[in-house]
């Protein structure tokens, strides 16, 4: 069974989870070229609750945010990798540049972002807190990033 679900299906799932008193954790990102930092981050995010939902930026959204040469890994492959991590319960996509709309739709109990984000700048914070939830940040174990990996590959394989 695929854990990748459409937003409208995820809204129904979220309602059922709420009725079961499951604590839902939400995070989002591009997750292009998955690395150890991503896996550690998602494992730590899951520790905040019972169910972890990961919203992936669609390919078009990634290109608008990161530039026309991104993503390196398409959304189908990115979602397959993310859904196969032990910590992840559901994966969905969003087309917008920010996850505001999907956060407003799902109203997670816990919203998680990396500690590189100031809490007051985290998109969706107002919705989550207004509904009794909390916003958490996670420190990175290493400072690995997809951009660093791309740069390393370019440097290693220059003519």
Asked whether residue 129 is assigned to any structural domain, the reply reads yes
- Taking only the tens place, the pLDDT of each residue in 102-131 is 999 999 999 999 998 999 999 999 999 999
User: What is the C-alpha separation between 131 and 109, in angstroms, rounded?
Assistant: 8
Among candidate residues 80, 81, 36, 27, the one with its CA nearest the CA of residue 55: 27
pLDDT in 10s for each residue of the chain, 159 residues: 679 999 999 999 999 999 999 999 999 999 998 998 899 999 999 999 999 999 999 999 999 999 999 999 999 999 999 999 999 999 999 999 999 999 999 999 999 999 989 999 999 999 999 999 999 999 887 666 777 777 878 788 886
**Strands 51-57 vs 24-29: parallel, antiparallel or unpaired:** parallel
Number of domains observed in the structure of the chain: 1
Asked whether residue 2 is assigned to any structural domain, the reply reads no
Q: What's the full length of the chain, in residues?
A: 159
Single pTM value for the model: 0.92
pLDDT at 159: 67
Asked whether residue 124 is assigned to any structural domain, the reply reads yes
Asked if residues 138 and 116 have their Cβ atoms less than 8 Å apart, the reply is: no
Residue 81: which CATH number?
3.40.50.620
Concatenated DSSP letters of 65-132: HH-TT--SS-HHHHHHHHHTSTT--EEEEE-SSSSHHHHHHH--SEEEEETTS-GGG-TTHHHHHHTT
Asked whether residue 49 is assigned to any structural domain, the reply reads yes
Domain extent, residue 131, equals 7-156
Among candidate residues 133, 129, 144, 120, the one with its CA nearest the CA of residue 34: 144
Longest dimension (CA), the chain: 59
Among candidate residues 103, 102, 93, 112, the one with its CA nearest the CA of residue 45: 112
């Amino acid at each position: 069974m695929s854990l990748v679900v459409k937003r409208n299906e995820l809204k129904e799932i979220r309602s059922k989870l709420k009725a079961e008193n499951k604590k839902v954790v939400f995070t989002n990102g591009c997750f292009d070229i998955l690395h150890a930092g991503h896996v550690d981050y998602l494992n730590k995010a899951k520790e905040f609750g019972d169910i972890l939902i990961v919203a992936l930026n669609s390919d078009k959204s990634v290109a608008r945010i990161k530039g026309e040469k991104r993503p390196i890994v398409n959304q189908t492959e990115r979602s397959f990798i993310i859904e196969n991590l032990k910590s992840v319960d559901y994966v969905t996509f969003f087309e917008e540049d920010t996850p505001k709309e999907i956060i407003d739709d799902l109203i997670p109990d816990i919203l998680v972002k990396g500690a590189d984000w100031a809490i007051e700048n985290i998109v969706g914070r107002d919705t989550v807190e207004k509904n009794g939830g909390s916003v958490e940040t996670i420190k990175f174990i290493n400072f690995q990033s997809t951009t660093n990996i791309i740069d390393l590959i370019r440097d290693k394989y220059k003519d």
